[in-house]
């Protein structure tokens, strides 16, 4: 029997309307909230050269953040049905049967759940990260440094709670500017309205290639585990 090969990279087109993407870009360009893009160690333009807006810091952007997270959640439902162990391998999730006994979820059980039931499980286990809007100028912007999304930084260990990364592409019509994954030898070409989901760890080390002949606009964030106090209680 031949092995099934997968790269655990999901691309989900047309989750945002192209016209809505354009209005988000227009709002970005008119905003005074953009700051030089940061990496885990701070502002390092030799690693990441961009203008960024962290949406949860600004009330005027919070409706856009909700809209992006709602679209991402639709992609996440598809992703978890394809890769259910992302949900159940770290945690032994159980449900109650009609007779009151507990039954552990298997991968086929997860795939069989309807959107409402699966969505409830996802919300119990995961939480959204802060959404970062980014503009990469043509021929100079980019995130050429090979990186992953995990690193130890402080006592909260927030970055180590990241399970998945996601990117929403807000425009296309420029050259290059792909999201490139090193080990998978795969480049994702930006398409307005599409979402990318992939694992956050070193196996999916990636970079953002420099756009040419036009600026690139994206939104990025993560799907994180709920904190242990939420999952297990404080006892």
Mean predicted confidence (pLDDT) in 27-31: 97
What is the reported pLDDT for 42? 86
Any idea where the domains of the chain sit in the sequence? 10-232
pLDDT in tens, 148-181: 999 987 778 899 999 999 999 999 999 999 999 9
Q: At what angle do helices 18-30 and 62-82 cross, to 10 degrees?
A: 140
Q: CB 48: neighbour CB atoms within 10 A?
A: 22
For residue 1, pLDDT beyond 70: no
142-9-125 Cα angle (round to 5): 105
What is the reported pLDDT for 2? 54
Q: At what angle do helices 62-82 and 115-125 cross, to 10 degrees?
A: 110
What is the reported pLDDT for 154? 74
Q: How many percent of the chain have pLDDT more than 70?
A: 97
pLDDT in tens, 42-93: 898 898 999 999 999 999 999 999 999 999 999 999 999 999 999 999 998 9
Backbone angles phi, psi at 67, to 5 degrees: -65, -45
What is the reported pLDDT for 124? 95
Tell me, which fold does domain 10-232 have in CATH? Answer: Jelly Rolls (2.60.120)
What is the reported pLDDT for 235? 55
What is the reported pLDDT for 97? 81
CA 202/CA 209 separation, integer angstroms: 18
What is the reported pLDDT for 153? 79
Per-residue confidence at 21, pLDDT binned at 50, 70, 90? very high
For residue 203, pLDDT beyond 70: yes
What is the reported pLDDT for 101? 87
For residue 3, pLDDT beyond 80: no
Q: What is the mean pLDDT of the chain?
A: 94
pLDDT in tens, 96-118: 888 888 999 999 999 999 999 99
């Amino acid at each position: 029997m031949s092995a099934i090969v997968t790269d655990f990279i999901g691309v989900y087109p047309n989750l945002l309307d192209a016209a809505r993407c354009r209005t988000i870009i227009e709002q970005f360009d008119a905003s005074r909230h953009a700051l030089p893009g940061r990496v885990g160690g701070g502002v390092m333009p030799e690693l990441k050269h961009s203008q960024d807006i962290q949406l949860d810091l600004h009330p005027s952007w919070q409706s856009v953040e909700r809209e992006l997270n709602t679209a991402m959640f639709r992609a996440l439902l598809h992703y978890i049905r394809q890769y259910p162990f992302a949900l159940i391998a770290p945690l032994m999730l159980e449900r109650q049967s009609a007779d009151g006994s507990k039954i552990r979820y298997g991968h086929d059980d997860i795939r069989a759940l309807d959107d409402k039931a699966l969505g409830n499980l996802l919300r119990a286990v995961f939480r959204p990260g802060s959404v970062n809007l980014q503009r990469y100028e043509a021929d100079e912007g980019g995130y050429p440094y090979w990186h992953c999304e995990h690193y130890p930084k402080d006592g909260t260990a927030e970055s180590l709670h990241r399970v998945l990364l996601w990117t929403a592409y807000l425009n296309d019509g420029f050259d290059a500017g792909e999201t490139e994954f090193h080990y998978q030898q795969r480049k994702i070409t930006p398409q307005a309205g599409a979402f990318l989901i992939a694992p956050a760890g070193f196996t999916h080390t990636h970079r953002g290639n420099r756009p040419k002949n036009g600026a690139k606009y994206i939104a990025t964030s993560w799907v994180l585990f709920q904190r242990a106090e939420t999952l297990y209680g404080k006892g």
